[in-house]
Amino acid sequence: MPILRLAAVGLLLLLPIMAQAPAGGYGKELALAGTLGVGPAFDAAVSGAYLYVIAGGALHVAELSDPEHPKVIAKLGGLGHVRQLIVRDGIAYVTAREDGFFLIDVSHPEKPALITHYDTIELATGLAISGDIAFIACRHAGVELVDISNAKAPQHLSTLRVGEAQSLAADGRYIYIGVWATRELVIADVSDPRRPVTVSSSPLDGFGDGVAIRSDIAYVVTGHHSAVAGKIRPVAGQPGYGKGHGFEIFDVKDRAHPKLLSRTKFPVFYGLYMDTWRVRLSGDLAFVNDTYNGIFILQIADPKAPRVLAHRQLPVVPGIGDGGLPVDPQPGPAVGLALTKDYLYIAGAWSDVHVVPAPGLAAPMDPLPRHGLRAGRAKGKPAESLTDAVLYRPDGQVYAVDVWKTDAAGRPLLLVAAGSAGLHVGRLTDRFEKQAVYPTKGFAASVSHSKDTVYVAEGMGGLGIYQAGADGRLSELARYTVPGFSVQQVVVTPAGNRALLHVGMNRLHILDVSNPAKPVRVIEDMHPGLFYLRAIPTGLAADRYSLVTWTVSGPFLFDLDPSAPPRFAGFQYPFRIGTENGATPDGANWLVTTGGYYMLLKPGEQRPPKDVGLIGIEGQDLSGKPTLFGNTLFIANALTGRVLALDVTDRARPKLLSTALLPEHPGYIVERGGRALIPGGYQGLLLWDYRRR
């Protein structure tokens, strides 16, 4: 039986201030009329006579001939961890976090059919559409612009880096983004979709999320902690803690200088698990989702003086606390909303879609902008760095590269995880000589090997295990899947008998692959916080230890002694190191990036980073995922696109060898023969001569 470890580490970070029932000042309390019967739901939309809902990894379609009792008539599953939904012109567009972006034909609502599954740059969360451009908020990776003019073959156009983008709105040549912990409304000019440009950034009094736009007015919903807190995540009792929940209205006629018109506050609470806040517009009303606080309806005819007219919290769901932790029951979080005449359909993340009569208030939401952008406006190619270093550009994005073995002439063979383009194998000379392409059952997001056995993390397709035959061709040997969860990363130990997997959003699975034809899970571990941008280092310290990092809980050490069962080694470093950062082995210890520096971390260390000793280079930000080859340290920052090569012969006095800024999202860098191989996302595979500045 596998060992399951669910730590209480970080519990205090997740314990919420209880969301109280909104009292005076929040208008009429609306009644609940019933539920749709689809289970926990994340978003909903009304198009024509139909209600569309994403719930349980599926798109559900209900007809609305009786709007108080919608009837489900169709369902399409296999959509992963769904988040936001737009229905337009017979197509449903669905974001699904680590599982990407789905386009679904709903021209015949009773028979929804998948058109295509698109591989987004990171966690596909927020969604806006203008013309034939989809704008996808991919959390820490920023906003991805995708050409959807051909629904069967969406094309990546560019990335806009704005910080942690959760939700957004589009109108004409501009997009409006709710940026998370930095508490900002960011406006960007996307008139050339290949080269989006940030126009302005305006402070918010809470973490930024949902945005709606009408003419020259922007409506923003915020949450968590207010700006007066001073810190991004203060602790209970500090000023501003839990007081960031509200609704802010801006005049954006001058996009470069937005003006705050009003700010409405909602009841105080803090809950980390379901932290999303949305807004819909209909006539002179705004409909706001504030998770545990429920739904608020505001009169916005005068944007300088909005008034709350009505509200509704969702019922408590027995047996569910915040993030599954043992806290007092909370009202179910309201995370999505659809509108039709006299009715609201509230998506409850712990419960169902709730039908709420609102006569005289609810009406169809504002239509999507019809004067949107055309993909033909994208001129040429996006701005690029290291263009002369692009070695290979497949159709998909290059997530990872692994040096497999050498051919008879001593030339390296590379394994390339190329997203939607599958697994590519080729010889490295002064170029990449493609030898074979192997389609994968999901997006090829990571690759690792042991001798002639190749392991590929294939997203929703699970872990594919392949064996090389006498002719060198790979054939599938086994497949490891986790129902309801995708596999995002794989690292195989040098001994070849253990494989570490990033599963879903924050699960670590350790497999016994002594017999690769029959992988056996021996450990499942999960802690507060997510796995972002590859949480498992590609190497082991002392040939047996892996340091795996959860964003909230910090790094945990696992003992993978090849002669003993794998186990948690008893060491957890109790400090966050940063979403974009990571660790690389340095002998028996670890070199860990954090805060723009690195530190040398020994197992057992409990002091904060500044006391351990932060090592850096003046004027250089050393944030990113590190890999160490001898005395050369490489750092790849997927959030900023920056890559660095450092001489760390003297660990305490690093010297910069070279740096570059890439347009996309670099992964773990591999060194071979004095040159660096960079998995460069949609820019391709890069061969970087880092010794030449």
DSSP 221-255: EEESS-GGG-SSSPPTTSTTTT---EEEEEE-SST
| Cα 234 to Cα 434: distance, rounded to the nearest angstrom | 52
In a domain, residue 177? The reply is yes
Mean pLDDT score, 460-469: 97
Sign, CA torsion 22/26/31/35? negative
Token representation of residue 436: 């074979």
Strand spans (E) along 89-154:
91-95, 101-105, 113-118, 126-130, 133-137, 143-147
Closest CA to 182 of 198, 162, 159: 162
Residue 612 parent element (H or E): helix 609-612
In a domain, residue 290? The reply is yes
pTM of the model as a whole: 0.94
Q: How many CB atoms lie within 10 A of CB 575?
A: 17
In a domain, residue 80? The reply is yes
**Which amino acid is it at 566?**
P
| Cα 449 to Cα 457: distance, rounded to the nearest angstrom | 11
In a domain, residue 657? The reply is no
In a domain, residue 510? The reply is no
Token representation of residue 205: 């009094």
In sequence order, the 6+-apart residues with CB closer than 8 A to the CB of 423 are: 415, 416, 417, 437, 438, 440, 444, 447, 454, 456, 466, 474
In a domain, residue 400? The reply is no
Collapsing DSSP to helix, strand or coil, 52 comes out as: strand
Collapsing DSSP to helix, strand or coil, 11 comes out as: helix
Give the domain CATH number at 295.
2.130.10.10
Token representation of residue 251: 């005049």
- What is the model's pLDDT at position 657? 97
* Structural domains counted in the chain: 1
pLDDT tens digits for range 212-221: 999 899 999 9
| Cα 41 to Cα 578: distance, rounded to the nearest angstrom | 30
Q: Is the pLDDT of residue 396 over 90?
A: yes
Task: Work out the pLDDT band at 255, boundaries 50, 70, 90.
Answer: very high
Mean pLDDT score, 588-596: 97
Angle, vertex CA 118, rays to CA 112 and CA 119, nearest 5: 145
Percent of the chain with pLDDT over 90: 82
pLDDT tens digits for range 332-384: 999 999 999 999 999 999 999 999 999 999 998 887 765 677 776 555 555 55
In a domain, residue 587? The reply is no
Kindly report the backbone phi and psi dihedral angles of residue 576, in degrees, each rounded to the nearest multiple of 5, phi listed first: -70, 140
Task: Work out the pLDDT band at 10, boundaries 50, 70, 90.
Answer: very low
* Residue pair 655/646 in contact by the 8 Å Cβ criterion: yes
Token representation of residue 113: 């059919």
Determine the distance from the C-alpha atom of residue 298 to the mean position of all C-alpha atoms in its chain, rounded to a whole number: 31
pLDDT tens digits for range 78-122: 999 999 999 999 999 999 999 999 999 999 999 999 999 999 999
Token representation of residue 562: 């090849």
Sheet with strand 453-457: strands edge to edge: 446-450, 453-457, 463-468, 474-480
| Cα 112 to Cα 96: distance, rounded to the nearest angstrom | 17
Q: Is the pLDDT of residue 9 over 60?
A: no
* Residue pair 218/258 in contact by the 8 Å Cβ criterion: yes
| Cα 470 to Cα 35: distance, rounded to the nearest angstrom | 59
| Cα 280 to Cα 86: distance, rounded to the nearest angstrom | 12
Mean pLDDT score, 180-209: 96
Average pLDDT, the chain: 92
In a domain, residue 597? The reply is no
- What is the model's pLDDT at position 267? 95
| Cα 297 to Cα 450: distance, rounded to the nearest angstrom | 58
Distances (CA, A) of 581 to 536, 549, 577, 626, 637: 11, 9, 6, 8, 8
Residues in the chain: 693
Task: Work out the pLDDT band at 323, boundaries 50, 70, 90.
Answer: very low
Distances (CA, A) of 618 to 63, 621, 631, 654, 656: 62, 8, 20, 10, 10
| Cα 122 to Cα 533: distance, rounded to the nearest angstrom | 8
Token representation of residue 38: 């689809």
Closest CA to 434 of 658, 642, 685, 671: 685
Distances (CA, A) of 467 to 276, 332, 464: 44, 47, 10
| Cα 171 to Cα 510: distance, rounded to the nearest angstrom | 46
| Cα 139 to Cα 143: distance, rounded to the nearest angstrom | 8
- What is the model's pLDDT at position 321? 54
| Cα 265 to Cα 258: distance, rounded to the nearest angstrom | 20
Q: Which domain holds residue 179?
A: 3-12+24-367
* Residue pair 134/373 in contact by the 8 Å Cβ criterion: no
pLDDT tens digits for range 16-51: 555 666 766 899 999 999 999 999 999 999 999 999
DSSP summary character for residue 460: T
Q: Is the pLDDT of residue 14 over 90?
A: no
Count Cα atoms within 13 angstroms, Cβ side, for 14. Answer: 22
